Structure 1
Amino acid sequence: MTKYDEYATKNRAGTGSSSGFDQPGQRCPGRATRPSGLPIQRHGGSDIDVSDFDVESETGSGLDESERADGHDITTSSATTWESVNDLDANSVTLNSFTGTSGPVFNPVEDTEAVQYFDKFFAPLTEDRNKEPKRCSPEHDQIYKFRPVFDHLNATWSQQYKLPCTISIDESIVGFKGRHNLVKYIRIKKHHQWGPKEYNLCDAKTGYCFRTLYHTSGMPTSVHGQPYKVCETLMSGLFERNHHLVVDNYYTSVPLCEEMLKKGVYVTGTVQANRKGLPQEMKHKLKQKGDIIACRKGGMLAINWMDRKQVRLLTTHASAKQVEVVRRRYGDTRTIPQVVQEYNAGMGGVNMSDQMTDAYAAEFRTVKCWKKVVFHLIDRTLTNAYICYKENSNKTGKPMTHHQFIIDVVESLIGDYKEPRSQVGRPSIGTPVSRKTDRHFLESIPDKKRKKCEVCASNRGDGNYKGTRITTWCKDCGVGLCRGDCFKKYHM
C-alpha cells in the first residue's frame, strides 16, 4: 500500500490525517491529482470537496466542455460521490415493477397477392438513380437505396411484438466485402467480420429483433457520446416502463446509467476502466480469484470483481450480493455476484437473433450492398415471424422447426405458380409409348424365377444371349431388367 493509499484510508475511516502529505500546499508524489470525494484540509480547519476544483484525473479525462461552462456536473443525482459498500449481502436494491406487456401481437394484415405486395415493397429500389440526392448535398442519405424497406420493417417489427422486462442492445454485421462506405470491420464477430454495421434492440430471452439502426458517417451524437445516442434512439418509445437494459462495455457509462434511470430504464453492463466518472476503486488491479470491490453512488452500483480475468460492471438494477449458480459444463456450483448473473442471463438476445438468422440466410454473391442489406432484413423478418409463431399461446401440438417454418412460408408465397419449361429438340410425331410416360417400378420376379435382361440382350444384337439371368423385372412391362442403368434406359 502506498502512502497515498494510506492517506485515503485514514481519511475515510475518520482517524485523522497524520501522514506526511496532509500539510497545506503539499501533493502526493507520483500522482497528478487526488481522487474525487476525498476531503482536503484547509488552513481554516474546514473540509472542502476536491470536486469543486476544475482539475483532471490521473487518466487524463477531466470535465468535458459542458461541465466547464457552469462549473458543476451536468447530471444531477441525489449522491455526488462514490461510497464503498462493505456489507454486500445487505446491499439490496428497491426496484419498480415492470409496467408493460410481453409477447407477439397478431394484427390483421391486408389480403393481397404476394406478387403485388413485393412489387409495392421493392418499387423504391428500382427508381431512377438520378433522383438520389448527391453525395455532397445536405439531403444525402447513405441508406437512401433501402430506406423505405428499412423504415417499413422497423415499424412492422415494433407493432407485432411487445418487449418483456429484460432487453439487450448489441451490434451485428451484414456480411459484405465489396466497396461501400457502409462497410465496417469488427474483429470479434465470428460469422461475418466485414460489412454494414447495425445496432439491434432484441428480447433477451427469445431473440426477437424489435428495432435496428445502421451505422452511417455523420450519424447524430450527444454530449455523452455516440454509444449513448444509439441506446437513446433504439429505446425511444420504451421509457417509463421500468425495462432492464443489458449492454456491453461499448455502451456502458456513468451518464447512460444516470440518464436512463431518470427515464425509467434500469441498466446493467460491463464497463471499461477508463470511463469518466468511475471511482478509483474500479481501477485497482485484483490478484486473487473471487476478490470483489463494490461502490455505490445514489441508485448506481459499480462492481470490480476478479474471475479468470478482471470484470468491471455498472448497474442500476442488481446488487452485489453473492448467489450460487450451477455450471452446466461441470455440474458443480459456484458463487458469483448477482449483477454478473443478471448480465449473463440478459446479454445473449442479439447473439441469439444472429444465430437464428444466419442459420438459413439467403447467402448469394452480389456487388450491390443494398441487395445484401435488403435480403438480410427479410431473413431477420422471417426469424421474427418464427419467434412469434413459437410464442403464440393458441398453437396446439409440437411446433415446427425453423427450417420447416421457412419452407412453408416460401411455398405459401409461391402458391400454384410453376415456371414453364421449354422442351429441347423436335416435337414427337407418334403417340408416346406407355412405358416412357407411366410410372413403373423394379420388382423381384415371383417364385424365385429368373429372366434375361432385355437391355443387355438387345445390346448383343444377334439374339444369342448367354449372360447371367437376373431376378428383377418390370411387372408392368413383363421384361427382366438389371438394377440401375438398364431399368433407366429401357424406360427413357
Structure 2
Amino acid sequence: MCVDSATKYLHRARIYLGKNVETEGNLGENIIRELLGDLLGKGRKVCCDNFFTSPSLGQFLYQAKTFLIGTIRANRKGLPKGYGNQALEKGQCQFLYRNEETLVKVQAKKIKRFMVYCNYRHDADYNEKEKKPTLVTNYNKRKPHVDLFNREAEKYAYRPATRRWPMRVFHWIIDCAAINAHVLHQQHTGASSRRMFLNELADKLMEQQQQIHVNEHWSNIRFRKIAESFDELRTKTMGGSHSKLIHCKSINDDGEICNKPSRQTQECNNCHKPACPEHYVELKLCHGCEQNMKIEEPAMCKKKYHPF
C-alpha cells in the first residue's frame, strides 16, 4: 500500500496473489516501483520497512529523484559483509556513508540492534530528548501511516461473513474508497467528522434507489416503513456531540440577543430564527415572538347545559 503521510490518502495498492506470480529480481523492489508509478521524479520521500529496503532500490530511486528511508536487513546485498552482526555498546550508534547513501546502526539493547538506511546524505545528529539518532526519529514519524490507514478502515468496516476471498477484497476496496472520498471532502470543505460524512454518503447512494422503489406500485409495506423511518434514523445517528453548534438568536427579557451556543437549537415557527432550549416554548415560538404575540385563552362557559 502506498499512503500519503500527511492526509492518509491511499494512492495505490497491490493485492498479493501468492508465489505463482512470476517476478524478476527482488520482489520488494518490484513492488515499490509498481506502487510509486507516476510519483517518481517529483522529489517525494518514501518510507518502508526492511522487507522492501535495499541499496539497489535506493540507488534506483535516487536516479529517479525520489528519496528513500527505511529499516534494512543485515544480509541485504550491497551492505558491508558482516557489518550488521557486529555488536556495539548499549545505546551506541554508528554512521556509514557511501556516495550519497547513509546507513546508521543502533544498539537498542544488549542483544538487539537495527539499521536504518536512506539514499541521501544525512547528518550524524543525535536527539538527546528521545536518545536516538535524528535519522531514526525521522523514520519513526513516517512509518505508522499505513497502519493508521488500516485502523481507519477497520473502524467503520463492512465485513459480512463470506468464504469467497474476492468478496473480502471487494468490501475492502469499498472501505478504502470511502476513506479517500472523505480525505478529498475534508480538503475542500474542512469537515472533519468521518462518521457524518459516511452517513451523508450512504444517504446519497441510496437516494436514487429509494425513489425508484417508492414510486413503483410493487413496493411492499416493509420497504415503505424503512423509507419513512430513514430520515428519523439519520437524524439520530448524526446528532450528539458531533452536531454543529448554533447560536441562539432569540431576544431575552433584557431586550438583548441571547447568542448562546447550543447543539439542541430549534427553529421558531414565526421568525424562523434559531432558539436554544431555554428560549423555546411549547408553542414552537422563540422567546421574543412569544412576548410580542398576545394569546388569549377562551372564556370558560359556566352554564350547566345549553338548550337546543
Residues 422, 205 of structure 1: alpha-carbon distance in 2 compared, 3 angstrom cutoff: closer
Structure 1's unaligned 5+ residue stretches are: 1-199, 326-332, 424-492
1:259 aligns with 2:60: yes
Given candidates 132, 141, 151, the residue that maps to 1:345 is 141
Aligned pairs for 1:452-491 within 5 A: none
1:412 aligns to what? 204
Given candidates 148, 153, 157, the residue that maps to 1:361 is 157
Moved over 4 A (4+): none
1:108-145 Cα distance to aligned partner (Å, 9 max, x none): xxxxxxxxxxxxxxxxxxxxxxxxxxxxxxxxxxxxxx
2:174 is paired with a residue whose SS is helix
1:314 aligns with 2:110: no
1:301 is paired with a residue whose SS is strand
Q: 1:368 corresponds to which letter in structure 2?
A: R
Structure with greater Cα Rg: 1
Indicate conservation of the 8 Å contact 1:244/1:317, yes or no.
no
2:24 aligns to what? 222
1:374 aligns to what? 170
Aligned pairs for 1:124-139 within 5 A: none
Distance 2:202 2:153 in 1: 16
1:246-281 Cα distance to aligned partner (Å, 9 max, x none): 110000111111111111111111011111111146
CA apart distance, 1:318 = 5.7
1:285 aligns with 2:86: yes
Residues 335, 287 of structure 1: alpha-carbon distance in 2 compared, 3 angstrom cutoff: same
1:286-335 Cα distance to aligned partner (Å, 9 max, x none): 3433211211111111111122431211102362422437xxxxxxx233
2:38 is paired with a residue whose SS is coil
Between structures 1 and 2, the one with greater helix share: 2
CA apart distance, 1:386 = 1.1
Q: 2:194 corresponds to which letter in structure 1?
A: H
Indicate conservation of the 8 Å contact 1:318/1:338, yes or no.
no
1:228-255 Cα distance to aligned partner (Å, 9 max, x none): 1101111112221111111100001111
Distance 1:307 1:351 in 2: 23
1:410 is paired with a residue whose SS is helix
1:188-211 Cα distance to aligned partner (Å, 9 max, x none): xxxxxxxxxxxx111022221100
Residues 422, 292 of structure 1: alpha-carbon distance in 2 compared, 3 angstrom cutoff: closer
1:401-442 Cα distance to aligned partner (Å, 9 max, x none): 21121111101111271663259xxxxxxxxxxxxxxxxxxx
CA apart distance, 1:212 = 0.9
Structure 2's unaligned 5+ residue stretches are: 224-308
Aligned pairs for 1:384-395 within 5 A: 384-392=180-188, 394-395=189-190
Residues 205, 348 of structure 1: alpha-carbon distance in 2 compared, 3 angstrom cutoff: farther
TM-score by length of 1: 0.41
1:401 aligns to what? 193
| Equivalent pairs, count | 212
Residues 413, 285 of structure 1: alpha-carbon distance in 2 compared, 3 angstrom cutoff: same
Distance 1:212 1:246 in 2: 15
1:213 is paired with a residue whose SS is coil
RMSD of equivalent CA atoms: 2.1
CA apart distance, 1:221 = 2.2
2:86 is paired with a residue whose SS is coil
Structure number with the bigger relative contact order (C-alpha 8 A, sep ≥ 6) is 1
Residues 391, 348 of structure 1: alpha-carbon distance in 2 compared, 3 angstrom cutoff: farther
Indicate conservation of the 8 Å contact 1:324/1:334, yes or no.
yes
CA apart distance, 1:365 = 0.5
1:324 aligns with 2:127: yes
Indicate conservation of the 8 Å contact 1:279/1:295, yes or no.
no
Indicate conservation of the 8 Å contact 2:101/2:121, yes or no.
no
1:415 is paired with a residue whose SS is helix
Distance 2:92 2:135 in 1: 15
Distance 1:364 1:260 in 2: 41
Q: 2:171 corresponds to which letter in structure 1?
A: F
Indicate conservation of the 8 Å contact 2:97/2:103, yes or no.
yes
Distance 1:281 1:405 in 2: 53
Q: 1:239 corresponds to which letter in structure 2?
A: L
Indicate conservation of the 8 Å contact 1:282/1:303, yes or no.
no
Indicate conservation of the 8 Å contact 1:321/1:338, yes or no.
yes
Distance 1:266 1:400 in 2: 31
Indicate conservation of the 8 Å contact 1:318/1:342, yes or no.
no
